[in-house]
Amino acid sequence: MQIGRWNHQSTGSSGSHSKYSKNPRSGSFHNTRPTGNRFPASRSYGRPPSQNKFPPRRGKSFGSFGNTEAEISKFMNRAVVTTEEPVFVPEHTFSDFDINEHLKKNILARKYESPTPIQDKIIPHVLLGQDVVGLAETGTGKTAAFLIPLIDKVMKQKGERILIMAPTRELAVQTEKELAGFARGLGFRGMVAVGGTNIGPQISALRHTPAFVIGTPGRLKDLMERKALDLSGFGTVVLDEADRMLDMGFIDDMRFILGKMQKERHMLFFSATISKDIERLIGDFLSSPVVISVKTRDTARNIDQDVIRIPRGKDKFEVLAELFKDRNFDKVLIFGRTKYGVEKLAKDLSRRHIHAESIHGNKTFNARIRALEAFKTGKVTALVATDVAARGLDIPAVSHVINYDLPSTYEDYIHRVGRTGRADLKGKALTFVQGR
Ligand code: AMP
């Protein structure tokens, strides 16, 4: 069995989320990092100085991609490691932007030295109040591309409120964490409104009129129906990963929510892919948007991709366990197709002393966040995930992505392998193909 000739270079974290501490004046939270099992519904950023609730994915084939040699060849991309990425030279620096000075300090404190391409291109338009469509994937810095100018907007326009819709609970939590880093000491509130966790604290948090509400469509709609969330006061909305929200069947909830907002609203729309449905949504809800695309290629060039052929009769679990004898397999994201299969695989690996956690729709929200943190911080070597649970997650320095089960579509494959080889790191993706 040959699995490629790539040498993993051990690297540290790409410096994603810095810690932020509680403002001593705000007594609301005991836990300053919303991880583990304590998850605050909302937080104030200080003063100046359930079970599987996902609807079935529609329009997707439940077959698999990788059943023909032509399809299998798409899982291989070996001649890539030597290519140098062209260096991006941004037009702006963060200090060029006409934004709040304290916000600039917070950006620097997070060690963001210069804008990524999407930030460089989008921030000036958002600052002008224009509607924007950003075609960008997770990993491009899209979150800060909308958070930075919108925080500035909240600082300049008193009473401005912003709604951010995201497809998954994890993405919503991640976005709020990033917001908390930028908003430190700026004196407004933000909250997360997602399902799978008690709605009571979210209803209470909404009474404080947080400037930012970040939520998944199902829970947002629920809060609106309970009259806890009134969108008539919201002048700005961000649809993050709109294509994923459509895939997950949220279209009716999204339309319902957008329909309850002010007619004159500022809208930012992010999607990794463009389809007829996406175009229709843009046409229905945005007015003359500026379209900015930073999507340049199908799969990142710094991901070395290969297949592992499993001979007929050989147990693929044994092949997987064997891989972990190589110490370079130190932060491995494994994809399985079913929630049951994913759970079982994580348990089987742990039994072999390969510490593994799992994330899938049958786990509670808190259990998923806990598993993710254990993986991010290196407490476990492997994270086994379903496609839906892994959507949009930002996990720094994943050494390997393993497609233990074939993806349903090529698009799912692209999303899976995109979890490794982030930023300037090299990554490796391996796809198990069973002998036939
Ligand atoms: P995103 O695409 O928003 O999920 O961001 C991907 C990662 O890049 C996150 O860990 C961010 O904290 C990080 N990031 C975003 N913008 C910058 C920047 N300008 N400089 C350094 N890191 C950044």
State pLDDT tens for residues 247-263.
889 999 999 999 999 88
Per-residue pLDDT at 271: 92
Q: Flag whether pLDDT at 49 surpasses 60.
A: no
Residue 15 CB partners (closer than 8 Å, separation 6+) = 111, 396
Question: Atom 20 (ligand 1): residue with closest C-alpha?
Answer: 112
Question: Distance from CA of residue 143 to its chain's centroid?
Answer: 9
Is 95 or 25 the better-scoring residue by pLDDT?
95
In the chain, the percentage of residues whose pLDDT exceeds 90 is 54
State pLDDT tens for residues 165-174.
999 988 999 9
Residues 239, 267 contacting (CB under 8 angstroms): yes
DSSP alpha helix (H) spans, 55-168: 69-73, 101-109, 117-127, 142-156
Predicted confidence band of residue 414 (pLDDT cuts 50, 70, 90): confident
Among the residue ranges 13-27, 111-125, 228-242, the one predicted with the least confidence is 13-27
Closest ligand 1 atom to Cα of 140: 2
Q: Flag whether pLDDT at 59 surpasses 80.
A: no
Q: Regarding beta strands 427-434 and 303-310, do their DSSP bridges make them parallel or antiparallel, or are they unpaired?
A: parallel
Distance of CA 321 from the midpoint of ligand 1 (Å): 33
Residues 45, 28 contacting (CB under 8 angstroms): no
Answer yes or no: is the C-beta of 174 below 6 A from any ligand 1 atom: no
Answer yes or no: is the C-beta of 143 below 6 A from any ligand 1 atom: yes
C-alpha closest to that of 132 among 116, 149, 115, 107: 149
Residues 184, 50 contacting (CB under 8 angstroms): no
Kindly provide the b/e burial profile for residues 92-118, where b requires at least 16 CB atoms within 10 angstroms of the residue's own CB.
Answer: eebeebebbebbbebbeebebeebbbb
Closest ligand 1 atom to Cα of 394: 4
Question: Average pLDDT for residues 94-108, to the nearest whole number?
Answer: 95
Answer yes or no: is the C-beta of 175 below 6 A from any ligand 1 atom: no
Tokens representing 238? 């961000």
Question: Atom 18 (ligand 1): residue with closest C-alpha?
Answer: 112
Q: Flag whether pLDDT at 402 surpasses 60.
A: yes
C-alpha closest to that of 42 among 185, 158, 193: 193
Q: Flag whether pLDDT at 134 surpasses 70.
A: yes
Predicted confidence band of residue 79 (pLDDT cuts 50, 70, 90): very low
Answer yes or no: is the C-beta of 234 below 6 A from any ligand 1 atom: no
Closest ligand 1 atom to Cα of 114: 19
State pLDDT tens for residues 212-226.
999 999 999 999 999
Answer yes or no: is the C-beta of 272 below 6 A from any ligand 1 atom: no
**83 half-sphere exposure, CB direction, 13 A CA radius:** 11
Among the residue ranges 183-192, 298-307, 406-415, the one predicted with the least confidence is 298-307
Answer yes or no: is the C-beta of 115 below 6 A from any ligand 1 atom: yes
Answer yes or no: is the C-beta of 402 below 6 A from any ligand 1 atom: no
- Mutate which of 116, 123, 148, 151 for ligand 1? The one with the most ligand atoms within 8 Å of its CB, which is 116
Answer yes or no: is the C-beta of 386 below 6 A from any ligand 1 atom: no
State pLDDT tens for residues 272-330.
888 888 999 999 998 889 999 885 544 556 788 889 999 888 999 999 999 999 988 99
Q: Indicate the average pLDDT of the chain.
A: 82
The Cα-based distances of 75 to 98, 191, 232, 407, 432 in angstroms read 45, 40, 48, 11, 10
Distance of CA 394 from the midpoint of ligand 1 (Å): 9
Q: Flag whether pLDDT at 85 surpasses 60.
A: no
Question: Atom 15 (ligand 1): residue with closest C-alpha?
Answer: 141
Per-residue pLDDT at 190: 96
Question: Average pLDDT for residues 419-427, to the nearest whole number?
Answer: 69
Predicted confidence band of residue 238 (pLDDT cuts 50, 70, 90): very high
- What structural domains and CATH numbers belong to the chain? 69-82+301-434 (3.40.50.300), 94-293 (3.40.50.300)
Per-residue pLDDT at 55: 40
Tokens representing 118? 């999407």
Answer yes or no: is the C-beta of 236 below 6 A from any ligand 1 atom: no
The model's pTM: 0.65
